[in-house]
Structure 1
Amino acid sequence: MPTLKIFVGTVYGGALDVAEQVKPLFEQAGYDVTIYEQPSLEDLVDSPTDLALFCVSTTGSGDCPGNLVPFVRALQERSPSLHELQYGLIALGDSSYGETFCGGGRSLDVLLEDLGAQRLGDRLEVDAMETFMADDAAIPWAEQWIDSQNLQVA
């Protein structure tokens, strides 16, 4: 059974809620799914990862949440080759913050691509000014992502 690792960067729990809400969709598609609330680089590179999904909120001035900072720093410092990694990304933000909107997810996306990872499809950016519950946007996106990227294995 292929694996999906969901890496969460959250401040108040919204990104974790998204991860928990989309998890059953991937299980139905045939994946063994694990959610990482305190992800480490080892969680990504030390065991096989068939597919990764990053659910990342934004804090401060467009920064990644504190629980994701050690993961991001390890990526930056160790620069592992991620050429085998295929991933998706759900970024949560608030457009009233202007240029830093979804900054946590956007910066992680750039870093992953710089390390050779391949994003499948478009990044979802959820705007708190338009969508009260982020999973209202994330669930249809995940369903469409599974279908459009032919991720169904079951």
Structure 2
Amino acid sequence: MALVKIFVGTMYGGALDVAEQVQPLFEQAGYEVAIFDQPALADLLETPTDLALFCTSTTGSGDFPGNLTGMLRELQEVSPSLVELRYGLIALGDSSYVDSFCGAGRALDELLRGLGAVRLGERLEIDAMETVMADDAAIPWVETWIAEQQLGVA
């Protein structure tokens, strides 16, 4: 069975909630799903990753949540080739922080692409000022993403 790994960066649980809410959509598409809420680089590299979804909130002035910083530090230090990695990205932010809106998601996207990973489709940016429950935006986006990217497993 194909595996999708969902890597979560969260401070207060919103991004983890999104990951848990979209999990059944991937299962219905034929994937086994693994959610990493304390992700490490080994989680990404040690077993083949058919597909990854990164779901992260932004803290402070565009900073990464603490639970994601270890993995990111490892990514920057090791700088592995990720040319085989296909991924999607859901960034949670608050547009009242104009200069840093979804800053963690945008920076993660840039890092992954710099290591050769291929983002499938557009990044979803969810604004807390417009969407009270992030999964209200994430669920339809993931449904469309799976269909448009033809990610269903036969």
**TM-score scaled by structure 2?**
0.99
Partner of 2:11: 11
1:148 corresponds to 2:153 = no
Distance in 2 (CA, whole Å) between partners of 1:71 and 1:61 is 19
Q: C-alpha separation between the residues in 2 aligned to 1:71 and 1:103?
A: 17
Separation in structure 2 between the aligned mates of residue 122 and residue 145 of structure 1, nearest angstrom:
9
Aligned to 2:53: 53
Distance in 2 separating the partners of 1:21 and 1:53:
13
Question: Is residue 16 of structure 2 the alignment partner of residue 32 of structure 1?
Answer: no
Residues 61-114 of structure 1 deviation map (CA, whole Å, 9 limit, x = unaligned)? 101100000000000010000000000000000000001000011100000000
1-structure distance, mates of 2:101, 2:7: 20
Distance in 2 of aligned mates of 1:62 and 1:70: 17
Backbone CA RMSD of aligned residues:
0.5
TM-score w.r.t. structure 1 length?
A: 0.99
- Segments of structure 2 that go 5 or more residues without pairing to the other structure are none
| SS of aligned partner of 1:96 | coil
In structure 1, give the amino acid aligned to 2:34.
Answer: T
In the alignment, which residue of structure 2 is the partner of 1:117? Answer: 117
In the alignment, structure 1 segments of 5+ residues that lack a partner are: none
Distance 2:2 2:57 in 1: 26
Count of residue pairs the alignment pairs up: 154
User: In structure 1, what residue type is equivalent to 2:6?
Assistant: I
Structure 2: which amino acid aligns with 1:6?
I
SS at 1:152's partner residue? coil
Deviations 1:115-146 (A, max 9, x none): 00000000000000000000000000000000
Over the matched positions of the two proteins, sequence identity in percent amounts to 73
Specify the alignment match of 2:93 in structure 1: 93
The residue number in structure 1 matching 2:129 is 129
User: Residues of 1 paired with 2:32 and 2:152: CA distance?
Assistant: 12
1:12 alignment partner AA: Y
In structure 2, what is the equivalent of residue 75 of structure 1?
75
Distance 1:78 1:99 in 2: 29
